Amino acid sequence: MSIEVKIVNPALHNESSNKTVGKNQTEDAQTTSTGTLNEDDQMMYDELKHAGVDLVKNPLPWQKQHVKSLAFPPFTAPAAVKRTWIAKMDQLSADQKKQIQHDSSTLWLSALRTNQSLETDVQKTGFSYDEFMTKMIHHAEKVSHTLSDAVSTIGFLREFQKSLQV
């Protein structure tokens, strides 16, 4: 599935004249470029749109650079990682989902505090979610007293990691 999206650079848009200002003096800022989104970007676009994010004012390329994810997996995770996470979460009851989402978000935010470049690192080609999960599980074991249900969360993260390796 693909979607065509108009990419807008709001920094070049002059609200009062409705014209783009800058080197090219383009008349219509709403059509600076268009393209078809790949699966990863499409999934991120859909998640942001569902969350109510204004993708006209701040289009997807801007979101990818500036949005901070408070939940795991982050908005910028590859579609395959998100699909695997969703498939694993779909196997849980509503209460289990809430607990796992809470604990995994706690661990994600802890990782962001510890490694301030993590948010950009996960966007780089070659970033290994498998290796990151090993670190996240190790951290969960160290801070198990802060999690709502450490045994379930660690078990879930291990199963998720195994699914990534398939």
What separation in angstroms does the CA of 29 have from each of 53, 65, 81, 165? Answer: 20, 20, 34, 44
Q: Where are the domains of the chain?
A: 4-66, 79-164
> 68, 75 in Cβ contact below 8 A?
no
What separation in angstroms does the CA of 68 have from each of 3, 37, 101? Answer: 24, 21, 16
**Binned average pLDDT, 10 residues per bin, the chain of 166 residues:** 44 40 34 58 74 74 65 84 92 93 90 86 88 95 93 96 91
Entry field: residues in the chain: 166
Question: Model's pTM, two decimal places?
Answer: 0.64
62: exposed, middle or buried (Cβ count in 10 Å: 0-12, 13-18, 19+): middle
